[in-house]
Amino acid sequence: MNPTRGCGTTNRANGVKGRQTVIELENVAYSYGGGELLSDLSIKLAPGSFHFLTGPSGAGKSTFLKLCYAALLPTAGQVRLFGADARTMDRTAVALLRQRVGVVHQDCQFLDHLPLIENVALPLTVAGRNVAHEEANLKDLLQWVGLTNRASALPPELSGGERQRAALARAVIMAPDVVLADEPTGNIDWEMSQRLLQLLIELNRMGKTIMVATHDLSLIRAAKTQVQARVLRIKNRRLQLAGADL
């Protein structure tokens, strides 16, 4: 079975967008008000690239991802998303950007009054797409993340791992150009995290840009055997390319 069958059929990243840099940070700094948390970050994520992001707890991994989907604006420097300066985007532009970027939050939040399957389909709903047309994709995707029999459960009735899997499914349902996942396997056993990794790798092979923040080194090791993944590390407020020490 193809795990990415559920992720739509268009392959936009390999299409019109061509070789344009998807996410680009230039001398970016960020501070929550106290001292600087991130300083002088510069990086370009090419379309179709696969990145891991590591670093000790509290280093700023989640913060970095939030800069990448315009949930936060840099306190210095420039963040360009699909070529547009994040600072100049109005809120509608940010909303449209989010339709092209699938995000898995560290604390997976859902609409607690809607069953899991509607939560996973939510990006389609708010984009005005007809969910009924995508039902086959939706079912395939749920199957792959092992949630078929929980499809009608409400989010508060899910286990920790089930929530994370649902969040990943929601992030990829629109077949977005970019997937940003923050600790998507924190509460998931080894077997299931391999399965989720497979899903991300398939998406990457379709040309999607993937960035996964994780502290699970064995996950990174497993990925490196299958795709060309770069490992970024945040240390002392800077972004480093992690070497062979993994």
Ligand X SMILES: Nc1ncnc2c1ncn2[C@@H]1O[C@H](COP(=O)(O)OP(=O)(O)OP(=O)(O)O)[C@@H](O)[C@H]1O
Name which position in 24, 118, 162, 177 contacts its own copies (CB under 8 A). Answer: 162
How many chain residues bind its own copies (CB under 8 A)? Answer: 30
Instruction: Determine, following the binding rule CB under 6 A, whether residue 112 of this chain makes contact with ligand X.
Output: no
Helix (H, G, I), strand (E, B), or coil: what is residue 188? Answer: coil
Instruction: Determine, following the binding rule CB under 6 A, whether residue 31 of this chain makes contact with ligand X.
Output: no
Least Å from the CB of residue 207 to its own copies: 29
Instruction: Determine, following the binding rule CB under 8 A, whether residue 105 of this chain makes contact with other proteins.
Output: yes
In sequence order, which residues have a C-beta less than 8 Å from that of residue 29 and are 6 or more positions away?
36, 38, 39, 40, 41, 74, 75, 76, 77
Q: Which two tokens stand for residue 81?
A: 């998303």
Q: Which of residues 167-226 bind ligand X (CB under 6 A)?
A: 187
Q: Which does 37 bind (CB under 5 to 8 A by kind): its own copies, Mg ion, ligand X, none?
A: ligand X
Instruction: Quote the CA–CA distance of 171 and 180 in Å, as a whole number.
Output: 8
Instruction: Determine, following the binding rule CB under 8 A, whether residue 233 of this chain makes contact with its own copies.
Output: no
Taking each helix axis as running N to C, give the angle between helix 160-172 and helix 135-144, from 0 to 180 degrees, rounded to the nearest 10. 140
Q: Which residues pair with 29 in a beta bridge?
A: 76
Instruction: Determine, following the binding rule CB under 5 A, whether residue 4 of this chain makes contact with Mg ion.
Output: no
Name which position in 43, 89, 122, 151 contacts other proteins (CB under 8 A). Answer: 122
Query: Using the 8-state DSSP alphabet, how is residue 175 labeled?
Result: -
Q: Which of residues 1-30 bind its own copies (CB under 8 A)?
A: none
Instruction: Quote the CA–CA distance of 205 and 209 in Å, as a whole number.
Output: 9
Looking at 75-83, 87-95, 115-123, 160-168, which segment touches its own copies (CB under 8 A)? 160-168
Instruction: Determine, following the binding rule CB under 8 A, whether residue 113 of this chain makes contact with other proteins.
Output: yes
Q: Which does 114 bind (CB under 5 to 8 A by kind): its own copies, Mg ion, other proteins, none?
A: other proteins
Hey, which bits of the chain come out as E strands?
A: 23-30, 38-45, 50-54, 76-81, 84-85, 101-104, 178-182, 209-213, 229-235, 238-241
Binding mask 154-183 for other proteins (x = CB under 8 A): ----------------x---x---------
Q: Which residues pair with 47 in a beta bridge?
A: none
Q: Is 132 exposed, middle or buried (0-12, 13-18, 19+ CB in 10 A)?
A: exposed
What is the contact surface with its own copies in residues (CB under 8 A)?
32, 54-58, 61-62, 106-107, 146, 150, 157, 159-162, 165, 182-183, 186-192, 215, 217-218
